[in-house]
Amino acid sequence: MFVVFVFFLGLICALLGVIPPGLLNMTAAKISLKEGRTRGIMFCIGVCVVVFAQTYIATMFARYLSNNKDVVTVLQRVALALFVLITIYFLFIAKSEPKAQEVPQIRSKHSRFFQGVLLSSLNVFPIPYQAYLTITFASFGWLNFSQINILLYVLGASIGTFIMLYMYIVFFNKIKGKTLTSQKNMNLIIGSITGVIALVTFFKIVKNL
């Protein structure tokens, strides 16, 4: 049962991380609209291959840091500041209307998978994001760094990323028709989530003082 929990923990965290409209999910949706769902899915698979590798690297980094408590304490304080800033940005500063995302033009009919790999490789946010989350989950006793748990968490994160990208493909027309409302709601959701994480981190730091 615990391993199932770890899998869904990775899946849910990845889902939340890919919710904001960005280059990867908007590109997946546009490729699907212009060239068909199959090629959009191939792009998503390419993205998820890199996410798998990035999340694995993040958990390995987190396992190393978990054995160095002084480093973890410093990182927790840095993470607290970052999450507070992210919360302020999404709740009070983020614009309601997102900028249009440009899709790189690729002529080859068989290159969407590699385009997904390339664009996902340029997005390094999952590494610090997952490293911090896995350290936090480990401190709560929700995750341990055994090989099977790491692989299940990483697999869950990859599948969660694919699900959210696929949801963008399926519901892109609805999102496109309600851009302003959707973006406002997403900003509120993201700001609330990061705010909760910031509060949890703050209380944990205070508890350890």
The DSSP string of 72-97 is HHHHHHHHHHHHHHHHHIIIIIS-SS
Each residue of 9-46: pLDDT tens digit?
889 888 887 876 677 887 888 888 788 888 989 999 99
Each residue of 142-196: pLDDT tens digit?
888 888 988 999 999 999 999 999 988 887 756 555 544 455 665 666 567 667 7
pLDDT at 153: 92
Q: What is the DSSP letter of 125?
A: T
Cβ atoms within 10 Å, residue 159 = 19
Question: First vs last Cα of the chain: how many Å apart?
Answer: 34
Each residue of 94-105: pLDDT tens digit?
554 444 444 445
Let me know: does 106 contact 34? Beta carbons within 8 Å.
no
Q: Which of 44, 20, 30, 56 is nearest to 152 (CA)?
A: 56
User: What is the value of pTM for the model shown?
Assistant: 0.67
User: What residue ranges do the domains of the chain occupy?
Assistant: 2-208
Ramachandran bin of 141, using left for φ above 0, alpha for ψ from -120 to 50, beta for the remaining angles? left
Q: Which two tokens stand for residue 52?
A: 């798998």
pLDDT at 48: 94
Better-predicted residue by pLDDT, 124 or 163: 163
Distance (Å, rounded) from C-alpha 113 to C-alpha 39? 8
At which residue do the structure tokens 């341990």 appear?
Answer: 144
